[in-house]
Amino acid sequence: MSRFQYLITLTTLVFSLGNFSMPLNAQFELDTVLLTNPSFEDEPRNSVPPWGWIDCGFRGETPPDVHPIYPPSEGWRVTMAAQDGKTYMGMVVRDNDTWERVSQPINGTLQKGKCYEFSIWLARSPSYVSLSHMTGQPTNYTTPTVLRIWGGESLCDRSSLLAESAAVRNHSWEEYHFQFNPSSDYEFIMLEVYYETPVLFPYNGNLLLDNSSPIIRIPCNETEMLEMEKLLTETTAEEDVLAVNPPQTQSTSVAANEPEVKSDQSKDKQNINPIERTGPPVRSLGGIHRSKLKEGQVIQINRLYFDADTFHIRSESYENLDQIAYFLIDNPEVSVEIGGHTNDLPSEDYCYRLSKSRARAVTKYLISKGVDPDRLTYKGYGKSQPIATNRTAAGRSMNQRVEIKILRTGE
C-alpha cells in the first residue's frame, strides 16, 4: 500500500484531507515536508538564529536575531508582537553587499518534477536600528526586502531558487504564499533575505519571519487534480473513515443540515483520563478571553495533525488540544460544538462522512481528558461552508478545517 499525506497549518484548526490508503498502482502521491521550529521560537536575543536553523551568512557578519527583544533599547528596537507563539526571526540586508540566510535539513524530500506550496507570515519593522557598515553611523534598516527560498543538497547549499516573494512593505503581519517545482531532489532548505531588484547599490533593510507552514505537495496540473479526486472517491478509505465513526443502520448520505450528533457517552466515558491540572485556571479559548465569548461564536485554532492512513491525532497536536480541554474543564458552564469541514474535491457524501469522523475524533480526545461529554457535540459539514475559494490550492487548504462553535456560555 502506498500513502499520501496532506497536512495544513495556517491560521485555523485544520486536518489533512488525504490521509488514506491507496492501491499500489496509484500514480498520485501527496506528501508533506515538515520544518523544524517553523515558528522560530527561542529566547529573544541578538545575533543568534532560533534553534533548528543554521546560520549561512557571510564570514565576519552577525547571524539573524530572535525578536522581540525587551527592553527595545537593548536590541534593534523591534517591538512588533509575534504572529504565532512568542518570538519570530529578524533578518537584514546591509549596505556593504552582505545579507542574512539560514538553513536546515527538512523532514522529507522535495522531489524533482513535483509541485509544492508553502506559506509564511512576513512583515517589515518600522524600526531596526544598527550601525551602517559603510559609514559607521547609526541607521535604520527599513528599506523593503524580499524573501528567497532555496533548495539544496547540503546545509547552506543554494542549488535551486525555488521561490521569491515580492518586496515586503507591510508593517503588520501578512501571509505570503509560494508554489514551486524543484529541478532536482532536495533535502535541505534555505531562507534568505535579499535586496529588491533591480537595485543600483546595496542598502540597509529588514525582514521579519514567523509561522511558516509545512511544505505540501499539490497537483501540478488539472490532470493530476482529477486523478486525485478519482482516487479519493474510489479508494477503500471509507473503512478508515468509519473506524472513528462506526457505521449506523441508516444511510450515511445525509444532508448538510443534519441535526447535531451527541457523543456516545456510554462508550466515551470508559476512556476518560483526566488531565492533572497545575497552574491558574485557563480563561481564554483560541486567544479569546472567557468574558468575550458569545453564543454562536466560531473559533479556529492552529496545529492539529493526523498520522497518514489513520485518524489518530499526532502528538504534535496534544498541546493545543490539551489547552482546549483545560479551558473546558476550568469553565464548566461553557458548551461547544466541534465542526468538521472539507474542500470540494471529493463527492458530497464522502466529504460529509470525512468531516464528521474528524470532528468526532477531536470530541473523543477532549472527553478522554476529562471534559464532560454532555457539554460536547460534533457535526460534519462536509464542503457546504467554504471560507475561501476552492479554485486554488491555498483556498482548498483553508476550507479543510475543524472549528469550535460556542453553544452555551452559561450567562
Per-residue exposure over 171-204, b if at least 16 CB sit within 10 Å of its own CB, e if not: eebeebbbebebeeebbbbbbbbbbbeeeeebbb
pTM, entire model: 0.55
Most confident of 185-189, 312-316, 380-384: 185-189
The fraction of the chain above a pLDDT of 90, given in percent, is 43
Domain membership of residue 19 (yes or no) is no
Mean pLDDT on 204-212: 96
Domain membership of residue 224 (yes or no) is no
pLDDT reported for residue 74: 65
196/264 same-domain check:
no
Q: Say if residue 311's pLDDT is above 70.
A: no
Q: Say if residue 261's pLDDT is above 60.
A: no
Domain membership of residue 14 (yes or no) is no
238/108 same-domain check:
no
91/189 same-domain check:
yes
Mean pLDDT on 354-369: 87
174/317 same-domain check:
no
Domain membership of residue 4 (yes or no) is no
71: preceding bond cis by omega (within 30 degrees): yes
Query: Could you tell me the pLDDT band of residue 236, with boundaries at 50, 70 and 90?
Result: very low
196/266 same-domain check:
no
99/164 same-domain check:
yes
Higher per-residue confidence, 352 vs 53: 53
Q: Say if residue 203's pLDDT is above 50.
A: yes
310/167 same-domain check:
no
Domain with residue 336: its CATH number is 3.30.1330.60
346/292 same-domain check:
yes
**8 A C-beta contact, residue 233 and residue 351:** no
Query: Could you tell me the pLDDT band of residue 317, with boundaries at 50, 70 and 90?
Result: confident
Picking from 102-106, 118-122, 330-334, 355-359, which range would have the lowest pLDDT averaged per residue?
355-359
137/73 same-domain check:
yes
Domain with residue 136: its CATH number is 2.60.120.260
Domain membership of residue 225 (yes or no) is no
Domain membership of residue 347 (yes or no) is yes
Domain membership of residue 228 (yes or no) is no
Query: Could you tell me the pLDDT band of residue 243, with boundaries at 50, 70 and 90?
Result: very low
Domain membership of residue 8 (yes or no) is no
Query: Could you tell me the pLDDT band of residue 26, with boundaries at 50, 70 and 90?
Result: very low
274/345 same-domain check:
yes
204/65 same-domain check:
yes
Domain count, the chain: 2
169/292 same-domain check:
no
Q: Say if residue 164's pLDDT is above 70.
A: yes
Q: Say if residue 158's pLDDT is above 80.
A: yes
pLDDT reported for residue 220: 84
**Residue 302 domain boundaries:** 234-252+260-408
